[in-house]
């Protein structure tokens, strides 16, 4: 919402937000208010009665009305997106002004207070978009430096006030910056750009050092994946470490080496880190030296390679591993890509299953939200059948606790992890 729109609200709606005289309104098609009443935050374009709705600007806060004209709440308008409105407030009496948004930010950070103060890690997701009541807003805290992504029109319009709220509410915060290089912004009619833009505080260093338990990790906050690191896999990395002692470990799609670092720290016999990105592997090597000193080459090696091709090469050479980690990038962006993605997941898991020694562990993951946990299990079962091997499910993981899922927003669950033991 623009500053001008906030002035309009303060002058014409009253301080308590209970009035809506002159407010632009989005009227819903009859029967389509059910999802709003269930407190789902997305209203799709097909649910909007365009002929009975006001024209609003991108990111503007609008009144959301039932087909009969009852005020259901307030949302941010996005004319370019299939998700036409993202709900900000389901209370007609609570207009989402700057104080409202700042309160949402404080509450989100407060829910992570135990993690921020507990000493287990100094890298935490402090705002998780719709599931924290701030659609399109992601904010990750890396040892004092917060990196945000604003992926909806409403979030983009209010990023300055969100950054102020984070900077003023997050203990130990030294900077708040934005990464605007995520492709989903284009679906909202927003531009993409490379690099890091500082919104509050100081300029972060090129690499920020964070800690997960006893493991030290360098994070590239300017060019790294997502906001710099995969915080959502924290619990899975710890679980992998618990299985790794004494094992020969192959870490595929290793990025900057997180799973492999935890495995080595927990006593793995040897770790092979594989990724197609030379830049990621360069940081992975630095992370290995940071944790294990100059002698890390005795316990860890690195391979710059396409993982599918690398696994086939290992298969043809008759290599075996005691533990394999498969943490690939998202194979399915939309439901239309599910079948193709399913074939990719099956192919890579089949290859890995054939490389496991008896009693070996396969830690396999999918971060594609369109791939349900049930479908992922089915894919793994079919891969095991084709590999002619038996497996037990030894453990399951989901996205880390600082990536919560609102009960009314099941789409917030996207990460699935299964630890399989080869029999």
Instruction: Say yes or no: 268 and 312 in one domain.
Output: yes
pLDDT tens digits along 108-167 = 999 999 999 989 999 999 999 999 999 999 999 999 999 999 999 999 999 999 999 999
pLDDT of 1: 34
Instruction: Say yes or no: 264 and 138 in one domain.
Output: no
Whether 30 maps to a domain, the answer reads yes
| Structure tokens belonging to residue 245 | 């002692």
| Structure tokens belonging to residue 107 | 């509450």
Instruction: Say yes or no: 366 and 294 in one domain.
Output: yes
Instruction: Say yes or no: 59 and 141 in one domain.
Output: no
pLDDT of 22: 63
The active-site residue, picked from 252, 254, 266, 367, is 367
Whether 273 maps to a domain, the answer reads yes
Instruction: Say yes or no: 286 and 415 in one domain.
Output: yes
Whether 219 maps to a domain, the answer reads no
Query: What phi and psi, each to the nearest 5 degrees, are found at residue 150?
Result: -115, 105
Q: Helices H, strands E: what count in the chain?
A: 13, 19
* DSSP state, residue 83: E
CATH number of the structural domain spanning residue 39: 2.30.130.10
pLDDT of 294: 84
Whether 31 maps to a domain, the answer reads yes
Low-confidence ranges of the chain (pLDDT < 50): 1-19
> Do the bridges between strand 71-77 and strand 83-89 make them parallel or antiparallel, or are there none, so unpaired?
antiparallel
Instruction: Say yes or no: 25 and 44 in one domain.
Output: yes
Whether 224 maps to a domain, the answer reads no
Q: Is 134 helix (H, G, I), strand (E, B) or coil?
A: coil
- How far is the C-alpha of 52 from the C-alpha of 63, rounded, in Å? 13
Alpha-carbon torsion (383, 385, 388, 392), positive or negative: positive
Instruction: Say yes or no: 83 and 144 in one domain.
Output: no
| Structure tokens belonging to residue 295 | 């002698």
Specify the number of domains making up the chain.
Answer: 3
Catalytic residue flag (residue 367)? yes
Please say whether the beta carbons of 244 and 262 come within 8 A.
Answer: yes
CA distances from 153 to 4, 77, 134, 137, 288 (A): 16, 7, 12, 10, 40
pTM of the prediction? 0.93
Q: Which domain holds residue 21?
A: 3-89
Question: Residue-wise over 263-277: b if at least 16 C-beta within 10 A, else e?
Answer: bbbbebebbbbbbee
Question: Residue-wise over 237-260: b if at least 16 C-beta within 10 A, else e?
Answer: bbbbbebbeebbbbbbbbbbbbbb
- How far is the C-alpha of 99 from the C-alpha of 224, rounded, in Å? 33
Instruction: Say yes or no: 320 and 416 in one domain.
Output: yes
- How far is the C-alpha of 89 from the C-alpha of 87, rounded, in Å? 6
Instruction: Say yes or no: 198 and 255 in one domain.
Output: no
Whether 119 maps to a domain, the answer reads yes
pLDDT tens digits along 175-202 = 999 999 999 999 999 999 999 999 999 9
pLDDT of 336: 86
CATH number of the structural domain spanning residue 363: 3.40.50.150
């Amino acid at each position: 919402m623009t500053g001008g729109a906030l002035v309009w609200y303060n002058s014409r709606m009253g301080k308590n937000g209970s009035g809506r005289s002159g407010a632009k309104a989005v009227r819903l098609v009859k029967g389509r208010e059910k999802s709003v009443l269930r407190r789902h935050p997305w209203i799709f374009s097909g649910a909007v009665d365009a002929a009975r709705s006001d024209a609003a600007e991108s990111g503007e806060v609008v009144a959301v009305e039932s087909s009969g004209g009852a005020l259901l709440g307030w949302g941010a308008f996005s004319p370019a997106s299939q998700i036409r409105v993202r709900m900000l407030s389901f209370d007609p009496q609570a207009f989402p002004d700057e104080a409202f948004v700042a309160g949402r930010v404080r509450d989100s950070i407060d829910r992570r207070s135990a993690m921020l103060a507990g000493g287990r890690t100094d890298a935490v997701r402090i705002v998780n978009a719709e599931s924290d009541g701030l659609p399109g807003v992601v904010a990750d805290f890396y040892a004092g430096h917060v990196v945000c992504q604003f992926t909806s029109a409403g979030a983009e319009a209010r990023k300055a006030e969100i950054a102020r709220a984070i900077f003023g509410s997050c203990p130990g915060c030294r900077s708040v910056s934005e990464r605007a290089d995520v492709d989903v912004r284009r679906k909202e009619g927003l531009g993409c750009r490379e690099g890091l833009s500082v919104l509050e505080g100081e300029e972060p260093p090129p690499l920020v050092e964070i800690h997960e338990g006893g493991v030290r990790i360098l994070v590239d906050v300017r060019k790294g994946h997502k906001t710099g690191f995969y915080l959502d896999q924290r619990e899975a990395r710890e679980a992998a470490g618990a299985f790794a002692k004494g094992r020969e470990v192959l870490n595929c799609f290793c990025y900057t080496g997180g799973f492999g670092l935890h495995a080595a720290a927990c006593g793995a016999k040897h770790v092979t880190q594989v990724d197609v990105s030379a830049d990621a592997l360069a940081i992975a090597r630095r992370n290995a030296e940071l944790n294990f000193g100059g002698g890390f080459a005795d316990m860890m090696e690195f391979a710059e390679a396409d993982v599918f091709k690398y696994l086939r090469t290992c298969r043809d050479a008759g290599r075996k591993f005691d533990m394999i980690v498969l943490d690939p990038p998202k194979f399915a962006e939309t439901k239309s890509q599910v079948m193709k993605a399913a074939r990719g997941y099956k192919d890579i898991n089949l290859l890995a299953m054939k490389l496991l020694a008896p009693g070996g562990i396969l830690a396999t993951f999918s971060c594609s939200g369109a791939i349900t946990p049930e479908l992922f299990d089915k894919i793994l079962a079919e891969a095991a059948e084709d590999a002619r091997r038996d497996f037990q499910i030894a453990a399951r993981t989901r996205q880390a606790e600082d990536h919560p899922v609102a009960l009314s927003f099941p789409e917030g669950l996207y990460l699935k992890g299964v630890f399989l033991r080869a029999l």
